[in-house]
Chains A and B, each alone.
Chain A
Amino acid sequence: MKLGTVISVAGPLVIAKGMNTAKIYDMVTVSDKHLIGEIIEMRGDRASIQVYEETSMLGPGEPVYGEGEPLSVELGPGLLESIFDGIQRPLNIIMEKSGDFINRGVQVKSLDREKIWNFVPCQKVGDRVFHGDIIGTVQENTIVQHKIMIPKGISGIIKKISEGKYTLEETVAVVEEEDGTEVNVTMLQKWPVRRGRPFHKKKMPEKPLVSGQRVIDTFFPVAKGGTACVPGPFGSGKTVVQHQIAKWADVDIVVYVGCGERGNEMTDVLNEFPELIDPKTGQSLMKRTVLIANTSNMPVAAREASIYTGIAVAEYYRDMGYSVALMADSSSRWAEALREMSGRLEEMPGEEGYPAYLGSRLAEFYERSGEVICLGQDKRIGTLTVMAAVSPPGGDLSEPVTQATLRIVKVFWGLDSGLAYARHFPAINWLTSYSLYSSSLMRWMDENVDKDYSRCQGEALALLQEESRLNDIVRLVGYDSLSPEDQLKLEISKSLREDFLQQNAFVEEDSYTPLNKQFRMLQTILKFYTLSRQALHDGIYLKDILNLSVREKLGRIKEIPEETMEQFEELQETMVQEINNLIQERGNKG
Chain B
Amino acid sequence: MIKEYRTISEIVGPLMVVDKVENVCYDEMVEVRTQSGEIRQGRVLEINEDSAVVQLFERADGILMEKSSVRFLEKPQVLGVSLDMLGRIYDGMGKPIDEGPKVLPEKYMDINGVVINPVARDYPSEFIQTGISSIDGLNTMVRGQKLPVFSASGLPHKELAAQIARQAKVKGSEGNFAVVFAAIGITFEEAEYFIQDFRNTGALQRTVMFVNLADDPAIERLSTPRMALTMAEYLAFEKDMHVLVIMTDITNYCEALREVGAARREVPGRRGYPGYMYTDLANLYERAGKIKGRKGTITQIPVLTMPEDDKTHPIPDLTGYITEGQIILNRDLYRKKIWPPVDVLPSLSRLKDKGIGEGKTREDHADTMNQLFSAYAQGKKARELSAILGESSLSDTDKLYAKFADEFERKYIAQGFEINRSIEETLDIGWELLSMFPKSELKRIKEKYLKKYLPDSSNKQSLEEHPAKKEV
B26/A58 in contact, CB under 8 A: yes
Which A residue sits closest to B269, measured CB to CB? Answer: A353
A-B contact pairs, 10 of them (CB 8 A): A8-B47, A57-B75, A59-B26, A94-B119, A298-B115, A333-B278, A422-B373, A423-B373, A479-B393, A555-B440
B-chain residues with CB within 8 Å of residue A100 when the two chains form the complex: 116-117, 120, 237, 291-294
State the A residues within 8 Å of B (CB). 7-11, 54-61, 83, 91-92, 94-95, 98-103, 233-235, 258, 260, 262-264, 266-268, 270-271, 293, 295-298, 300, 333, 336-337, 339-340, 343, 346, 349, 352-353, 391, 393-396, 417, 420-424, 471, 474-475, 477-480, 487, 490-491, 494, 498, 504, 506, 543, 546-547, 551-552, 555-556
B314 CB to nearest chain A CB (Å): 7
Also in contact, A56 and B27, with CB within 8 A (given A293-B118, A423-B374): yes
A268/B471 in contact, CB under 8 A: no
Which B residue sits closest to A336, measured CB to CB? Answer: B278
Which B residue sits closest to A240, measured CB to CB? Answer: B350
B236 CB to nearest chain A CB (Å): 12
- List the 7 closest A-B pairs by CB distance, nearest first: A394-B312, A296-B282, A59-B25, A297-B286, A422-B377, A234-B320, A56-B27
A-chain residues with CB within 8 Å of residue B385 when the two chains form the complex: 474-475
A-chain residues with CB within 8 Å of residue B345 when the two chains form the complex: 421-422
Known: A102-B116, A300-B276, A353-B267. 19 other contacts (CB 8 A): A9-B26, A10-B26, A10-B47, A59-B47, A94-B119, A102-B114, A233-B312, A264-B121, A266-B121, A296-B282, A393-B318, A396-B312, A421-B346, A421-B373, A422-B374, A471-B472, A474-B385, A498-B443, A504-B370
B-chain residues with CB within 8 Å of residue A423 when the two chains form the complex: 370, 373-374, 377
Also in contact, A91 and B469, with CB within 8 A (given A60-B47, A296-B286, A396-B312): no
Partner of A55, one of B27, B312, B353: B27
A129 CB to nearest chain B CB (Å): 39
B388 CB to nearest chain A CB (Å): 7
Complex Cα distance A7/B49, Å? Answer: 5
Partner of A340, one of B276, B313, B346: B276
Complex Cα distance A391/B346, Å? Answer: 17
Check: B187 CB closer than 8 A to any chain A CB: no
B178-186, B212-220, B321-329, B429-437 - interface stretch: B321-329
Partner of A543, one of B75, B112, B468: B468
Check: B378 CB closer than 8 A to any chain A CB: yes
Interface residue tally for chain B (C-beta within 8 Å): 89
A264/B351 in contact, CB under 8 A: yes
Also in contact, A58 and B25, with CB within 8 A (given A300-B276, A393-B312): yes
Which A residue sits closest to B25, measured CB to CB? Answer: A59
A-chain residues with CB within 8 Å of residue B28 when the two chains form the complex: 57, 59
Complex Cα distance A423/B366, Å? Answer: 12
B27/A57 in contact, CB under 8 A: yes
A-chain residues with CB within 8 Å of residue B105 when the two chains form the complex: none
Partner of B463, one of A270, A417, A547: A547
A145 CB to nearest chain B CB (Å): 27
Complex Cα distance A562/B26, Å? Answer: 61
B123/A264 in contact, CB under 8 A: yes
B-chain residues with CB within 8 Å of residue A504 when the two chains form the complex: 370
Partner of A267, one of B121, B285, B312, B374: B121
A-chain residues with CB within 8 Å of residue B470 when the two chains form the complex: 479, 487, 490-491, 546
Complex Cα distance A81/B321, Å? Answer: 27
A296/B123 in contact, CB under 8 A: no
B112 CB to nearest chain A CB (Å): 7
Check: B467 CB closer than 8 A to any chain A CB: yes
Also in contact, A9 and B25, with CB within 8 A (given A94-B117, A262-B286): yes
B-chain residues with CB within 8 Å of residue A478 when the two chains form the complex: 389, 393
B441 CB to nearest chain A CB (Å): 10
Which B residue sits closest to A299, measured CB to CB? Answer: B115
Complex Cα distance A339/B351, Å? Answer: 30
Complex Cα distance A431/B292, Å? Answer: 44
Check: B46 CB closer than 8 A to any chain A CB: yes
A-chain residues with CB within 8 Å of residue B196 when the two chains form the complex: none
B232 CB to nearest chain A CB (Å): 14
A-chain residues with CB within 8 Å of residue B346 when the two chains form the complex: 235, 417, 421
A393/B469 in contact, CB under 8 A: no
Complex Cα distance A59/B123, Å? Answer: 38
B269/A352 in contact, CB under 8 A: yes
Complex Cα distance A300/B280, Å? Answer: 10
Check: B70 CB closer than 8 A to any chain A CB: no
B269/A295 in contact, CB under 8 A: no
B385 CB to nearest chain A CB (Å): 7
B348/A235 in contact, CB under 8 A: yes
B279/A300 in contact, CB under 8 A: yes
Partner of A551, one of B118, B122, B270, B440: B440
A-chain residues with CB within 8 Å of residue B120 when the two chains form the complex: 95, 99-101
A-chain residues with CB within 8 Å of residue B36 when the two chains form the complex: none
B-chain residues with CB within 8 Å of residue A551 when the two chains form the complex: 440
Complex Cα distance A271/B26, Å? Answer: 38
Also in contact, A59 and B23, with CB within 8 A (given A8-B49, A422-B377): yes
B-chain residues with CB within 8 Å of residue A234 when the two chains form the complex: 317, 320-321, 326
B45/A10 in contact, CB under 8 A: yes
B-chain residues with CB within 8 Å of residue A271 when the two chains form the complex: 123
Complex Cα distance A494/B275, Å? Answer: 43
A263/B121 in contact, CB under 8 A: yes
B-chain residues with CB within 8 Å of residue A54 when the two chains form the complex: 112
Check: B223 CB closer than 8 A to any chain A CB: no
Check: B48 CB closer than 8 A to any chain A CB: yes
B230 CB to nearest chain A CB (Å): 13
Also in contact, A494 and B23, with CB within 8 A (given A91-B118, A475-B385): no
Also in contact, A506 and B467, with CB within 8 A (given A57-B28, A267-B123, A393-B317): no
Check: B24 CB closer than 8 A to any chain A CB: yes
B25/A57 in contact, CB under 8 A: yes
B117/A95 in contact, CB under 8 A: yes
Partner of A490, one of B268, B370, B472: B472
Which B residue sits closest to A394, measured CB to CB? Answer: B312
B-chain residues with CB within 8 Å of residue A395 when the two chains form the complex: 312
Also in contact, A235 and B320, with CB within 8 A (given A263-B116, A296-B286, A340-B275): yes
Which B residue sits closest to A504, measured CB to CB? Answer: B370
Partner of B322, one of A262, A474, A552: A262
Give the contacts of B119-163 with A (CB-CB under 8 A): 119-124, 144
B-chain residues with CB within 8 Å of residue A543 when the two chains form the complex: 467-469
Which A residue sits closest to B264, measured CB to CB? Answer: A10
Also in contact, A262 and B320, with CB within 8 A (given A9-B47, A547-B469): no
Check: B283 CB closer than 8 A to any chain A CB: yes
Check: B395 CB closer than 8 A to any chain A CB: yes
A-chain residues with CB within 8 Å of residue B287 when the two chains form the complex: 297
Which A residue sits closest to B45, measured CB to CB? Answer: A10
A95 CB to nearest chain B CB (Å): 5
Flag B344-381 by CB within 8 Å of A: 1 or 0 each. 01101011010000000000001000100110011000
Partner of A295, one of B75, B144, B286: B286
A-chain residues with CB within 8 Å of residue B398 when the two chains form the complex: 479
Which B residue sits closest to A94, measured CB to CB? Answer: B117
A-chain residues with CB within 8 Å of residue B237 when the two chains form the complex: 100
B312/A339 in contact, CB under 8 A: no
B471/A494 in contact, CB under 8 A: yes
Check: B4 CB closer than 8 A to any chain A CB: no
B-chain residues with CB within 8 Å of residue A424 when the two chains form the complex: 374
A340/B123 in contact, CB under 8 A: no
B245 CB to nearest chain A CB (Å): 15
A-chain residues with CB within 8 Å of residue B321 when the two chains form the complex: 234, 391
Check: B289 CB closer than 8 A to any chain A CB: yes
Complex Cα distance A394/B119, Å? Answer: 31
B76/A56 in contact, CB under 8 A: yes
A566 CB to nearest chain B CB (Å): 22
B-chain residues with CB within 8 Å of residue A479 when the two chains form the complex: 393-395, 398, 470-472
B117/A343 in contact, CB under 8 A: no
A194 CB to nearest chain B CB (Å): 22
B239 CB to nearest chain A CB (Å): 15
